[in-house]
């Protein structure tokens, strides 16, 4: 008996301890709640959602245990009821935002500061969609126009030349075109805007489209520069910052296999692709699709999941409810990015005439 006791004590003493759990950054352990501000709560009865409407809902977010809010890039664009990037006239273009201030229709600078302070007080985080990678393809104007009178080619140039080109497809789908990050002015201006929001405006994170070059290849040089800015902002603020990338239309097909691209995939939200035909999907098929995402992208578990679809019919086609998709997304592992309203099964309306940028879907 004594021998067994000694053996047990020795086993406890010399058995290797389990390694401590890794310390997770805030964006690795929170639900991200994505908000399209123009159609969110309107507090001044002008028919347009605003920042004060978000502030009024903070208690609601707390009840849901939502700690991170992502504001879509619509906060920089003409609001609902005005002209949008889908309806801009080439002859009378809407002034392109310089991405330094939120459109005052959605709130003043004081409204933004109040919201940011309230979020900090509640230990919540704010992420903003920054459209650093595209420009208005109708007018050729971009957010750096104040620093240069030069404009860029329009979608008509591209589609008149070759309607089957990637550039034409991109411009027809998004009503915008990617900037060329081989251009030093474009690269430097994008860095200035990113630095401004992460340091001066003390935002917790940004989401951007992947920066491209004239041939539509990814500018990894620009990505490295952006990552350096993020690291410096973290040192300056003593807080982790999130840099999240969105993959533009069909770009994934051209980039698969690249080592540099694979390294980016943990900074990209992934979607569980469903059938486009009327057919109920089984649990086995869902598992196979989940496995396919991991295998194709060389990932153990994707760090970010993008929930929600621009067309609500996708769910019903597969015999799934919005609530079911949300529940599954929360169980996948990784950080779910949830479109507002999905927690109550709200189906998205058709966004006819609204501003829809590359990173809006």
- Does the pLDDT of residue 357 top 70, yes or no? no
Question: What pLDDT does residue 259 have?
Answer: 65
pLDDT above 90 covers what percent of the chain? 37
Predicted confidence (pLDDT) per residue in 62-88, tens digit:
998 899 999 999 899 765 443 333 332
| Pair of tokens at residue 280 | 């109920």
Specify the DSSP element, H or E, that contains 328: helix 322-331
- Residue 197 DSSP code: I
| Pair of tokens at residue 320 | 């799934």
Q: Which whole number is the average pLDDT over 142-149?
A: 69
Residue 309, CA distances (Å) to 4, 73, 130, 135, 267 in order:
61, 17, 20, 24, 20
State the pTM of this model.
0.80
Q: Is 151 left (phi over 0), alpha (psi -120 to 50) or beta?
A: beta
Question: Do 187 and 125 form a contact (C-beta atoms < 8 A)?
Answer: no
Q: How confident is the model at residue 184 (pLDDT cuts 50, 70, 90)?
A: very high
Question: What pLDDT does residue 224 have?
Answer: 95
Question: Do 119 and 58 form a contact (C-beta atoms < 8 A)?
Answer: yes
Going by C-beta distance under 8 Å and a sequence separation of 6 or more, which residues neighbour residue 139? 88, 90, 93, 94, 96, 151, 154
Contacts 24+ apart (CB under 8 A), 258-261: 258/218, 260/218, 260/220, 261/218
Across 46-55, 328-337, 348-357, least confident range:
348-357
- Does the pLDDT of residue 251 top 90, yes or no? no
Predicted confidence (pLDDT) per residue in 2-29, tens digit:
666 655 665 655 566 666 677 888 998 8
Q: Which domains does the chain have, with CATH numbers?
A: 30-276+352-360 (3.20.20.80)
């Amino acid at each position: 008996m004594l021998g067994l006791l000694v053996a047990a004590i020795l086993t406890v003493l010399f058995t290797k301890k389990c390694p401590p759990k890794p310390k997770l950054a805030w964006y690795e352990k929170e639900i991200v709640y994505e908000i399209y501000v123009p159609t969110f709560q309107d507090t001044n009865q002008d028919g347009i959602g605003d920042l004060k409407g978000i502030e009024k809902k903070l208690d609601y977010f707390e009840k849901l245990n939502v700690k991170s809010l992502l504001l879509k890039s619509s906060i920089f664009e003409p609001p609902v009821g005005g002209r949008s990037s889908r309806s801009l006239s080439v002859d009378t273009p809407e002034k392109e935002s310089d991405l330094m201030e939120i459109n005052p229709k959605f709130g003043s600078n004081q409204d933004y500061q109040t919201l940011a302070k309230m979020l900090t007080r509640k230990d919540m985080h704010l992420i903003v969609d920054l459209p650093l990678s595209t420009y208005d393809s109708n007018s050729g104007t971009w957010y750096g126009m104040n620093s240069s009178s030069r404009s860029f080619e329009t979608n008509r140039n591209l589609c008149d030349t070759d309607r089957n080109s990637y550039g034409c497809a991109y411009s027809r789908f998004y009503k915008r075109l990617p900037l060329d990050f081989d251009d030093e002015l474009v690269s430097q201006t994008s860095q200035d805007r990113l630095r401004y929001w992460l340091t001066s405006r003390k935002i917790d994170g940004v989401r951007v489209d992947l920066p491209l070059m004239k041939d539509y290849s990814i500018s990894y040089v620009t990505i490295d520069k952006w990552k350096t800015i993020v690291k410096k902002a973290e040192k300056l603020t003593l807080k982790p910052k999130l840099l999240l990338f969105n993959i533009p239309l069909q770009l994934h097909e051209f980039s698969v296999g690249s080592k540099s691209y694979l390294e980016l995939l943990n900074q990209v939200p992934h979607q569980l692709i469903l059938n486009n035909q009327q057919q109920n999907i089984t649990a086995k098929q869902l598992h196979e699709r989940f496995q396919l995402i991991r295998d194709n992208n060389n990932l153990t578990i994707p760090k970010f999941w993008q929930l929600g679809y621009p067309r609500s019919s996708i769910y019903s086609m597969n015999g799934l409810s919005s609530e079911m998709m949300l529940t599954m997304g929360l169980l996948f592992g990784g950080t779910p990015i949830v479109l507002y309203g999905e927690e109550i099964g709200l189906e998205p309306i058709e966004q006819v005439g609204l501003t829809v940028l590359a990173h809006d879907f």
